[in-house]
Amino acid sequence: MDVVFSVIMLLYQLVSGGGTGDETASKSHLLTSLLTSATAQQPSTGTTGEAVPGQNASAQKKDPQPDAPKVKGIYLTAHSAGGSRLDTLLKLLDDTDLNSMVIDVKDDVGYITYPTTNPELLKYGTPKKYIRDIGALMTKLKEHDVYPIARVVVFKDTVLARSHPNLSFRHKDGSVWQNGKKDSFVNPYIKEVWDYNIAVAKESVKLGFKEIQFDYVRFPEGFENKADSLVFDKTKESRVDAVAGFVKYAKQQLEPLGVRVSVDIFGYAASVPAAEGIGQDFVKISKYVDVISPMVYPSHYSTGWYNVKDPDKDPYTIIKGSMIDTHKKLDPIGSFKPIIRPWIQDFTASWLGKGHYIKYGKAELDAQIKALKDTGVDEYLLWNAGNKYTPGVIY
């Protein structure tokens, strides 16, 4: 059955895939090896050739949180969740139809954001006391009827890369590769990395989080241009299969715990065949998750997307176009189609330069939410890195 599914996906991509304007990763190519994934492999191989764990050809994807609300949430850093700003953000949820918080439990640097004595986490992770009392935080969220989502940054992990260079990408002199922002990534081919991040997720479930949101589920941007010059372990799997293999394995491991699994993905991924450079295939990843969260910030689209000269200045058109593409991409997988819950923009992208951006406020948030509603999407998350959200928006 999975061979047939793969062929259908390939044909679908050949017919409908395409797009321009990828500003963060090279344009992707169509998959050329879908038919090779029919044979079941062990999880460590990263293969995606098996059926969805726990499901047969006639099964339906089942939501492990069927009583969950339609999520409308905000992002919180661990500093906000563990500090005085938490009360302000809780009041925002109390006073509006927002009902969820996405909280860093493993952050963009790679730190575990609360004290832990779990040996599985301490073997590779470095805890911080950003959230000094994680139990008290979870109690407070429950008191305010907040749907809690744990954000786990997976393969962008400078802390782990520096402490265990063998799990990362190295230069030929043995030094750990880093990007222009001094960030390092760990290797998606290595099962130890998978298991460490899943251990973080499992502890998050024990703490009371209802959903695990995996972010940076990919190789570094532009990896296809640097892979040949770096030293790292790999299998015969493609980058796409390595990344999708992690997602499938994570879902399999977390499924018995009754927790939702979600993945953040580049917004443009819905509009191109597959971002093979970074290993992200929108359809393959979506097949294995309960929720997919494309990051469709208008500021992150370049000139020409959806026939808009300055995408940041036309949030309605960009969001609507991206959601139409998302539905087209995912409709063919039928019952395996996940909940679509995009990240939308609640920040001003002044770095785009004068004339290419606008100040984001209530009107721009309203336009994005209307575009979602007009395309049949009723869940969303607001991103602001500083956790300062626009007042007066009707959610």
How far, in Å, CA of 289 to CA of 132, rounded?
A: 31
**Residue 92, φ and ψ in degrees, nearest 5:** -60, -45
Q: How many CA atoms lie within 13 A of 94 on its CB side?
A: 11
- What pLDDT sits at residue 390? 97
Q: What is the pLDDT of residue 272?
A: 86
Asked whether 297 and 259 are in contact (CB, 8 A), the reply is: no
pLDDT tens by residue, 6-65: 333 334 344 344 433 333 333 333 333 333 333 333 333 333 333 343 344 335 788 999
Q: What is the pLDDT of residue 80?
A: 98
> pLDDT tens for residues 108-165?
999 999 999 999 999 999 999 999 999 999 999 999 999 999 999 999 999 999 999 9
Residue 315 CA, chain-centre distance (Å), reads 21
Instruction: Give domain limits for the chain.
Output: 2-55+71-383
The answer to whether 200 and 152 are in contact (CB under 8 A) is yes
The domain 2-55+71-383 is classified under which CATH number: 3.40.50.970, 3.40.50.1820, 1.10.8.60, 3.20.20.80? 3.20.20.80
Looking at residue 275, its pLDDT comes to 86
Q: Please name the residue that has the structure tokens 């895939």.
A: 17
pLDDT digits (tens, 9 = 90+) for 252-276: 999 999 999 999 999 988 888 888 9
Per DSSP bridges, beta strands 211-215 and 147-153 are: parallel
Tell me the backbone φ, ψ of residue 261, rounded to 5 degrees: -120, 125
pLDDT higher than threshold 80 for residue 356: yes
Give how far Cα 151 sits from Cα of 7, 86, 244, 384, Å.
33, 16, 18, 15
The pLDDT mean for the chain works out to 88
- Tell me what percent of the residues of the chain surpass a pLDDT of 70: 85
pLDDT of residue 29: 34
Would you state the pLDDT for residue 278? 95
Q: Read off the pLDDT of residues 61-107 as tens digits, 9 standing for 90 and up.
A: 889 999 999 999 999 999 999 999 999 999 999 999 999 999 999 99
Give residue 213's pLDDT. Answer: 98
Q: Indicate the range of 56-65, 169-178, 345-354 predicted with least confidence.
A: 56-65
Number of H helices, E strands in the chain: 11, 9
Residue in 143, 281, 120, 147 with CA at minimum distance from that of residue 202: 120
pLDDT at 59: 56
**DSSP designation for 95:** H
